[in-house]
Structures are given as C-alpha cells and as structure tokens.
Amino acid sequence: MKIKKHSWTTFLITGDNTSLLTDPQEVNKSGLSLSKVKTDVVLFSETRLIFKDNILKSEGIEKKVVADKREKIMEICSPGEFEIGGLMIRREIGSNIYIIDEQNLRIVYLGVLDQEFNVDSTKDLGDVDVLIVPIGDGNQFICYDKLEKVFSNIDPQILLPCGYKEKGVKLDKEIKTKEDFIKHFGFTNISDENYLNIKSKKSEREGVPMEVIFL
C-alpha cells in the first residue's frame, strides 16, 4: 500500500485496486490549500457529517476531489463495514476511527478528534502497521496525555503525524508544532519522506522501535 499526504489531515491511501482519501473538507478550514486529487473512496470522520449525502458537493470541493477508477466516488461518513476493490474499511458506532485493511496490512486513521475523544476506543484494534493521527493538541485535537495512551494502546509499526502547526495554518495560536511533538515525546526514530510504501507486517519487526514519519 502507498500513502501520500496531500495536506493537513488529508492522505491518499492507494491499494492494489482502490484508492481512498481522508477528510479533504478539513484542508480549507486549516488555511492550507487542497490540490486536485483522484480517488475512488473518501472517508469523512467528522460527527457532523454522519449519514450525510453528497458531502463533496455540499463542502464545495467536488471539483478538487474527482473520481479515479470508479464512475462515481464512494463517500463513507457513517458506521459500518465496507469492502471496496480489495480494501476492507470499518468504522464503529460512535467512533471517529477508521480501520483500513488490505490482505495482511492494517492502517488506522484517527480522524477529526477533539478533547472529548474516548481513548479506550483505541484498545483491541489488533496488529496495526500504520497509525495516522493529528498531533496539534491546542483546542483542535486531543491532548498529549491522551495521545500517549493512544500510542500505548495501539503500538503501531509506523506513526504518520498530521494536523500540526506549520506554515500557512491559520488555526488557533495554541496548536502545537512538529518540533513541540518530538520534544515532548522524545522520539528518536524520525524521518521525513515524500510518501510511504508499506509492505511488511508489524509481527515481522518485533523489537524495532516505532518509526515516526512526517510526509
């Protein structure tokens, strides 16, 4: 599977036959810009969008996010299990979390989370290869104390941070930076990449520290 960050909390995840995009509606709110992207599926994690239809159009981004292999983009905004082109996508009732499986690989996307997020919902998610999570704290996302519990519960092979203070972001001044996050948690296994290709299972890397990759 290939993962590429487009902006803010928006990632394009490409499997063997299907691609999906996460929360493109959030980019404009951050002050950043969303470049045009092709995808088959879009995941919306905001609770205000549950059970909504035609979200891309209602959010004014239908010309930015266009269909790739499918005639029409499949929008997923509600709890359930979905199988699309070899990807298994699951969202539990009352949860912002999406679990994305392809064959023996598992990606967990913790979407638009606020301070009310229930950390216990990250327990028992199985072997997670990649965790995508916002790290900005502030008034926008979960605090560092809760993040620490999330990392302990999930223990992913690779962590892909998003939703932090960077050039162009126009959210509240309290939002944390990449450097704030690294300093607080003391991570040392850190790299910057243009994209991520994930192939090996977490079980094949036992004893290897969690890798933090900024895309």
Q: What is the pLDDT of residue 108?
A: 97
- Which residue carries 């790290």 as its tokens? 135
Q: What is the CA radius of gyration of the chain?
A: 16
Categorize the per-residue pLDDT at 204 as very low, low, confident or very high, splitting at 50, 70 and 90: low
Domain ranges of the chain: 2-214
Give the pLDDT confidence of 37-65 residue by residue, as tens digits: 999 999 999 988 999 999 999 999 999 99
Cα separation of 97 and 108, whole Å? 7
Indicate the fold that domain 2-214 takes in CATH.
Metallo-beta-lactamase; Chain A (3.60.15)
Cα gap 64→24, rounded to integer Å: 9
Alpha helices by DSSP H, the chain? 26-30, 55-58, 144-154, 178-185
Mean pLDDT confidence for 137-142: 80
pLDDT at residue 94 greater than cutoff 60: yes
The tally of CA atoms less than 13 A away on the side-chain side of residue 14 is 14
- Please report the pLDDT score of residue 53 as a whole number: 94
pLDDT at residue 203 is higher than 60? no
Residue 35 · residue 105 · CB < 8 Å: no
Residue 202 has pLDDT above 70, yes or no: no
Q: What is the mean pLDDT of residues 26-31?
A: 90
pLDDT the model gives residue 201:
63
Confidence of residue 113 (pLDDT cuts 50, 70, 90): confident
Question: Residue 67 has what pLDDT?
Answer: 95
